[in-house]
Amino acid sequence: MSAEKLTMAAAINTALRDAMRADDSVLVFGEDVGPLGGVFRVTEGLTDSFGAARCFDTPLAESGILGMAIGLAMNGMHPVVEMQFDAFAYPAFEQITSHLAKMRNRTRGALHLPVVVRVPYAGGIGGVEHHCDSSESYYAHTPGLTVLAPATSADAYGLLRAAIEYPDPVIFLEPKKRYFASEEADIREPVAPIGTAELRRAGRDATLITYGPSVPVALAAAEQAAAEGRELGVLDLRSLVPLDEQTIAEAVRASGRAVVIAETPGFASVAAELAALIGERCFHHLEAPVRRVTGFDIPYPPPKLERHHLPSIDRILDAVDELQWEHA
């Protein structure tokens, strides 16, 4: 099969379908994921195809969903659960951080939990309050979790298949803004494994480092910069934990300048970690301090104001402009 137009929602649906077909122990459950097919229709048709024992609705209780997933995984199943929205996953926080993340460690490796937690996250969809949080930093900060943040339909398919086959729990962050964006993707082509970043665009002058919903914004910014005579590379992290530190360091050392881009409030975030990491590993190769373009440190703004909060092409290019080019 060659490349075809595919939305991320369709890519994830296909990944779930293929995983369920390949392995009877894969179960999909959560709120409204059954006959409705999920509020984003990501699980559409799965109950029809595989039956209500394999794809089912649960009572509306996120801690219960996560806790049940942990028990199912303890007893031989491969649960893939959906947290309906980023901020609605918070009731499950204790189950995720104290149990899902720690079971392997608490049992000296006797119990490992192959659970995938799908979290539709981040903004840009005009959602009302509590529907658009960038919650990745909470998960990335928790030892024991693997945190994936695909930006493309091909990665959404490939990384989700890899996540379902992974022996340890994976937080799978799905950028809602990208669900229905159609793009060329060949899902039969294998993708790079968990823990690897990919250079989406080469550029010798500076490197934009980002993930998830900000990748297309960074690519657009690089496109515009090219028109203005500046070559910006775009590194898509794909995997926040494990983090591909080697590829990050190589890219930044090659260009000498870096801007980290993420929707999340910047303070104590994945973006902050990236800036610190680059400082530690690339200091002598840097022509300018690492800049961060992130969301403001505010509760996620309402639909009428969110455009002011999200990293924009202009804000990215302004940050690039400040990378001390007078020394170039």
Partner 1 sequence: MTEIVRLLDTDGTVLEHERYALPEPERLLELYRGLVLGRRFNEQANSLVRQGRLAVYPSSRGQEACQIGAAAALRGGDWLFPTYRDTVAVVQRGVPPVEALTLLTGDWHCGYDPLAHRIAPQATPLATQLPHAVGVGHAARLRGEDTVVLALCGDGATSEGDFHEALNFAAVFTSPVVFLVQNNKYAISVPLSRQTAAESLADKGIGYGMPAVLVDGNDPAAVTAVLDEAVARAASGAGPTLVEADTYRLEAHTNADDAGRYRSELEVAEWTERDPLPRLRAYLRGTGLLGAARETELEEAAEEFASLVRQGVSAMAAPRPGALFAEVYGTPTQRLATQAALLDTELRAGAGTR
Binding residues for partner 1 (CB under 8 A): 27, 53, 58-59, 61, 63-64, 66-77, 79, 91, 94-95, 98-99, 103-112, 143-144, 146, 167-168, 195, 241-243, 245-246
Neighbours of 280 (CB within 10 A): 10
Distance of alpha carbon 129 from alpha carbon 126, whole angstroms? 10
Q: Which is nearer to partner 1, 91 or 301 (CB)?
A: 91
Minimum CB–partner distance for residue 144 and partner 1 (Å): 6
Q: Which is nearer to partner 1, 72 or 187 (CB)?
A: 72
Q: Which is nearer to partner 1, 36 or 52 (CB)?
A: 52
Cβ atoms of 207 and 151 closer than 8 Å: no
Helix axes 313-321, 215-227, angle to 10 degrees: 60
Q: Which is nearer to partner 1, 154 or 275 (CB)?
A: 275
Cβ atoms of 146 and 101 closer than 8 Å: no
Taking the CA atoms of residue 166, residue 169, residue 171 and residue 172 in that order, the dihedral angle to the nearest 10 degrees is: 30
The structure tokens listed for 298 are: 């505010």
Q: Which of 131, 141, 284, 309 is catalytic?
A: 131
Taking the CA atoms of residue 175, residue 177, residue 178 and residue 181 in that order, the dihedral angle to the nearest 10 degrees is: 170
Q: Which is nearer to partner 1, 52 or 328 (CB)?
A: 52
Give the number of residues written for the chain. Answer: 328
Minimum CB–partner distance for residue 101 and partner 1 (Å): 9
Distance of alpha carbon 275 from alpha carbon 285, whole angstroms? 14
The structure tokens listed for 313 are: 């092409």
Written as one letter, the residue type at 262 is: A
Minimum CB–partner distance for residue 216 and partner 1 (Å): 28
Minimum CB–partner distance for residue 280 and partner 1 (Å): 12
Minimum CB–partner distance for residue 65 and partner 1 (Å): 8
To the query of whether residue 131 is one of the catalytic residues in this protein, the response is: yes
Distance of alpha carbon 3 from alpha carbon 185, whole angstroms? 5
Please list the active-site residues: 131
